[in-house]
Amino acid sequence: MSDHPTEPSSNAESPAKHTEHTPPEPKDNPPASTSNPTQQRQRAIHLAQAVRHELQKAVIGQNAVIDDVLTALIGGGHVLIEGVPGLGKTLLVRALARCFAGEFARIQFTPDLMPSDVTGHAVYDMQTEQFKLRKGPLFTHILLADEINRAPAKTQAALLEAMQERQVTLEGRALPVPQPFMVLATQNPIEQEGTYPLPEAELDRFMLKLRMDYPQAEQELDMVRQVTRSTRSDMLDVQPLRTLMQAKDVQALQRIAADLPVDEQVLDYAVRLARATRTWPGLALGAGPRASIALVRGGRARALLRGGEFVIPDDIKGCALAVLRHRVRLSAELDIEGLSVDQVLKQLLDQVPAPRQ
């Protein structure tokens, strides 16, 4: 962490420091408040799709995951990305930070990491003979919590207040985190040695849980071709990516998405999906009301990403797996049979009727 009491930690990386890349033309940015709502929405759609295109340059073969991360960013939520080592989880977050000219910090979670290493702590100043607050890396716009499940529960819980309340309490003072604020946490599967399962209260704070799988053969070939041409050893270089967004642009995207109309039938569909998990055969634990809220927020974000003027049932259904998979628990019988949560949820999505257009 930094020695300055109010700065993020020294392992924070800020894409804003790189000045060799020319920002896009002003038309890429969400418009000023003087523009009409239609113009604002069209420019927001253009910006969101431009960011998606930049991310696809760096993260090959993971287009669905990229869309889901942008869904969470526009929806104002947090993301948990699970996958075996080497699939590009950290690369995706670094690429997003490169496209965003805000503050970026990275925390490598380890078994000996303490909560104060995340949130900050009070230090005694010998000159003033007073305690001063030293803010931790949590005070940033985009926080990469790398391998979050390698730290014990008390350290994982240090993120809870910031994720839900957008503030951190240090020495009795509630300090707001910068806005927008997004946690992108990566974790290896629980079967990996030396990992701790995340508490259910913390899991529920994540808007989406994404699963990164191996790329297709052609995509992996393209990835190997690009990486072996890079000077960065075994990883792709994010430096060529353009910086497209400022903090105010992300907030504008979030506001415009939040204003997209949702029909009452589509709203009812999102609630029925979440409620169905509570009585569905094979699920011992269902999703709470946060799931219904996340489905609607995710649906609005996906509608903006596809260039729509309103939310349709497919927008809700498209993010349902990512919203629900970490909020439900399989019954012991199905777990023994080897069924996965995703398989049960896909059956649920096929059988809960969607409103007809």
**pLDDT tens figures, 113-127:** 888 888 887 777 777
Say which residue, 235 or 74, is predicted with more confidence. Answer: 74
Q: Are 112 and 17 within one domain?
A: yes
Q: Please report the pLDDT score of residue 303 as a whole number.
A: 94
CATH (domain of 222): 3.40.50.300
- Residues making up the chain, counted from first to last: 357
The answer, yes or no, to whether residue 152 has pLDDT greater than 60, is yes
Q: Are 166 and 18 within one domain?
A: yes
Closest CA to 1 of 129, 170, 119: 119
The reported pTM is 0.81
Residue 38: give the domain boundaries.
1-258
Percent of the chain surpassing pLDDT 70:
85
Q: Are 248 and 264 within one domain?
A: no
On average, the pLDDT of the chain sits at 82
Q: Do 99 and 243 meet the contact criterion of CB atoms below 8 Å apart?
A: yes
Q: Are 71 and 216 within one domain?
A: yes
Closest CA to 354 of 315, 304, 307, 297: 315
**Per-residue pLDDT tens digits for 156-200:** 888 888 888 888 888 778 889 989 999 999 887 766 666 777 878
Q: Are 183 and 273 within one domain?
A: no
Say which residue, 154 or 208, is predicted with more confidence. Answer: 208
The answer, yes or no, to whether residue 33 has pLDDT greater than 60, is no
Q: Are 100 and 23 within one domain?
A: yes
What is the rounded CA–CA span in Å between residue 138 and residue 156?
12
What phi and psi, each to the nearest 5 degrees, are found at residue 285? -135, 130
- Binning pLDDT at 50, 70 and 90, where does residue 98 land? confident
State which of 258, 279, 299 marks the end of a domain: 258
State which of 258, 276, 305 marks the end of a domain: 258
The answer, yes or no, to whether residue 2 has pLDDT greater than 70, is no
What is the rounded CA–CA span in Å between residue 38 and residue 35?
8
Q: Are 152 and 59 within one domain?
A: yes
- Asked if omega into 85 is within 30° of 0 (cis), the reply is no
Q: Are 300 and 230 within one domain?
A: no
What is the rounded CA–CA span in Å between residue 223 and residue 212?
15
Helix axes 89-99, 63-75, angle to 10 degrees: 50
State which of 227, 258, 289 marks the end of a domain: 258
Least confident of 67-71, 105-109, 334-338: 334-338
Count how many Cα atoms sit within 13 Å of the Cα of residue 30 in the half-sphere of its side chain: 23
CA angle, corner 328, sides to 326 and 331, nearest 5? 130
The answer, yes or no, to whether residue 323 has pLDDT greater than 60, is yes
CATH (domain of 308): 1.10.8.80
Contacts of 198 (CB under 8 A, 6+ apart): 80, 148, 149, 156, 187
How far is CA 317 from its chain centroid? 18
Task: Determine how many CB atoms are found less than 10 A away from the CB of residue 306.
Answer: 15
Question: What Å distances lie between residue 193 and 82, 187, 189, 197, 301, CA to CA?
Answer: 15, 12, 9, 12, 36
What is the rounded CA–CA span in Å between residue 159 and residue 183?
9
- How many distinct structural domains can be found in the chain? 2
Q: Are 43 and 158 within one domain?
A: yes
Q: Are 188 and 306 within one domain?
A: no
Tokens 């409620």 correspond to what residue? 275
Closest CA to 320 of 351, 356, 357: 351
Q: Please report the pLDDT score of residue 10 as a whole number.
A: 39
The answer, yes or no, to whether residue 32 has pLDDT greater than 90, is no
The answer, yes or no, to whether residue 27 has pLDDT greater than 90, is no
Q: Are 190 and 96 within one domain?
A: yes
Q: Are 180 and 232 within one domain?
A: yes
Average pLDDT over residues 150-156: 83
